[in-house]
Structures are given as structure tokens and as C-alpha cells.
């Protein structure tokens, strides 16, 4: 399933007008996992947030995306159908209340000056900003213990804290999880490799 969502993000960019700023990542690109976690937190991957057997691509079955054009009403209809399905994406109940660590891209929501007090964490570059939001079970609403200074949209961070099954609509995307973050650490790039 890991390859499906970034592939879908790239496919959806063909259906939408897109303007990306210069970045070290391409739309749909994910961050690789670390080799070692942080003590006290279970490192999870984005696919862990989706229940086994749930297929985010089910809404696309029988549709030839290569035949759709930006101005095609069928493309808009398909995106609306996908959005309805993805906004009610199922969660993984076993993760409720777990202390986890996960890397991702940030979308600031609440900012006061240079400090961000709430943000979304998403699995791939461009999500919620340049392409439609991913399924709600691939969006985490993060509330850090203390505001994060200097955080910019689509920067990469490791987030560690307690994950809960608490959904909502941020205005930038529907989320299915909320994470009370104890640690917000930059996802460091070493010698040209993302880590």
C-alpha cells in the first residue's frame, strides 16, 4: 500500500492546476524511516494508520485516469467521490493512546508571530497544499506541548507523542488522528540523504 498514495498524489496533480515552489522533494515523495527510534516511543509508518484490508484506491476502480482532462466534468465528479470516501477513511483502533514517533511534512494551522501552536502532519510532500489532502487516516492533527518556532509549510519533522483517535476538519484537510506532541524535532538531512 505504501506506493499507492504517492502514486495517487502524482496522478491527482494531472487533474489539478499546480504551482510548486522550489523544494528538495517532489509531489508525492515520502520520508524514509529511521534506523533507530526514540526511547519511550514506538516508531510507526504511515501505512500503520490504515486498517489492514482498507484500500484507498477503491474509489478509482474501473476508472481510466489517463483519459481524464483537467476540464472534464468527470474528473471533478471523480475527485468529489474520492473526497467523500477519503474523509471517512477508517482508523486503526489499536493505535489509540499509543506513544508513537512518526516523520512527516507539516502544514501549520495556528501561528502567532514566528510560533506554530497547531499543525497537520502529512505523509508526502504537497499534501493539503499543492494536491488534495490524503485520506483522513493519513492526516494527523498535532498539538505540541509548546509552540514551535520558525516552522514553515512542508518542512520535515519527527513528531513524538500520544496518538488518539480524534478526528475533525482543519480547513486544510480532514484528519482522523490527533497527536499530543511531546517532541517536535527536525528531520535532519545528512550528506544529501534524508533521515
Q: Are 132 and 12 in contact (CB under 8 A)?
A: yes
Burial class (CB in 10 A: 0-12, 13-18, 19+), 194: middle
Residues 6+ apart with CB under 8 A from 27: 9, 10, 13, 18, 20, 124, 125, 126, 130, 131
**Alpha-carbon Rg of the chain, whole angstroms?**
16
In this prediction, residue 62 carries a pLDDT of: 84
- C-alpha distances in Å from residue 22, one per residue of 14, 31, 73: 19, 17, 31
Highest mean pLDDT among 39-43, 71-75, 145-149: 145-149
Q: Which residue has the higher pLDDT, 60 or 108?
A: 108
How confident is the model over 141-163, as pLDDT tens digits? Answer: 999 999 999 999 999 999 999 99
191, pLDDT greater than 60: no
Residues 6+ apart with CB under 8 A from 135: 5, 50, 56, 85, 86, 87, 89
**Domain-wise residue ranges, the chain:** 4-194
In this prediction, residue 189 carries a pLDDT of: 55
71, pLDDT greater than 50: yes
Please give the CATH architecture assigned to the domain spanning 4-194: Beta Barrel (2.40)
Q: Which residue has the higher pLDDT, 20 or 45?
A: 45
**pLDDT bucket at 21, cuts 50 / 70 / 90:** very low
pTM (predicted TM-score): 0.81
Average pLDDT of the chain to the nearest whole number:
84
Q: Strand 42-43 vs strand 156-164: parallel, antiparallel, or unpaired?
A: unpaired
Q: Strand 174-175 vs strand 168-169: parallel, antiparallel, or unpaired?
A: antiparallel
Cell reading at 88:
471517512
- 7's enclosing H/E stretch is helix 4-15
In this prediction, residue 60 carries a pLDDT of: 84
Amino acid at each position: 500500500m505504501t506506493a499507492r498514495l504517492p502514486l495517487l498524489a502524482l496522478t491527482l496533480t494531472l487533474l489539478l492546476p499546480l504551482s510548486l515552489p522550489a523544494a528538495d522533494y517532489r509531489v508525492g515523495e515520502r520520508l524514509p524511516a529511521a534506523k533507530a527510534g526514540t526511547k519511550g516511543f514506538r516508531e510507526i509508518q504511515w501505512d500503520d494508520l490504515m486498517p489492514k484490508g482498507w484500500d484507498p484506491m477503491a474509489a478509482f476502480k474501473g476508472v481510466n485516469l489517463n483519459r481524464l482532462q483537467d476540464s472534464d466534468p468527470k474528473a471533478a465528479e471523480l475527485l468529489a467521490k474520492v473526497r467523500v470516501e477519503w474523509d471517512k477513511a477508517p482508523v486503526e483502533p489499536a493505535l489509540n493512546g499509543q506513544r508513537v514517533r512518526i516523520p512527516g511534512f507539516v502544514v501549520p494551522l495556528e501561528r502567532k508571530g514566528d510560533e506554530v501552536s497547531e499543525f497537520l502532519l502529512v505523509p508526502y510532500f504537497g499534501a493539503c497544499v499543492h494536491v488534495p489532502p490524503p485520506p483522513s487516516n493519513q492526516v494527523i492533527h498535532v498539538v505540541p506541548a509548546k509552540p514551535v518556532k520558525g516552522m514553515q509549510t512542508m518542512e520535515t519533522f519527527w513528531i513524538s507523542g500520544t496518538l488518539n483517535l480524534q478526528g475533525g476538519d482543519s480547513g486544510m484537510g480532514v484528519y482522523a488522528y490527533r497527536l499530543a506532541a511531546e517532541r517536535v524535532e527536525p528531520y535532519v538531512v545528512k550528506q544529501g540523504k534524508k533521515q
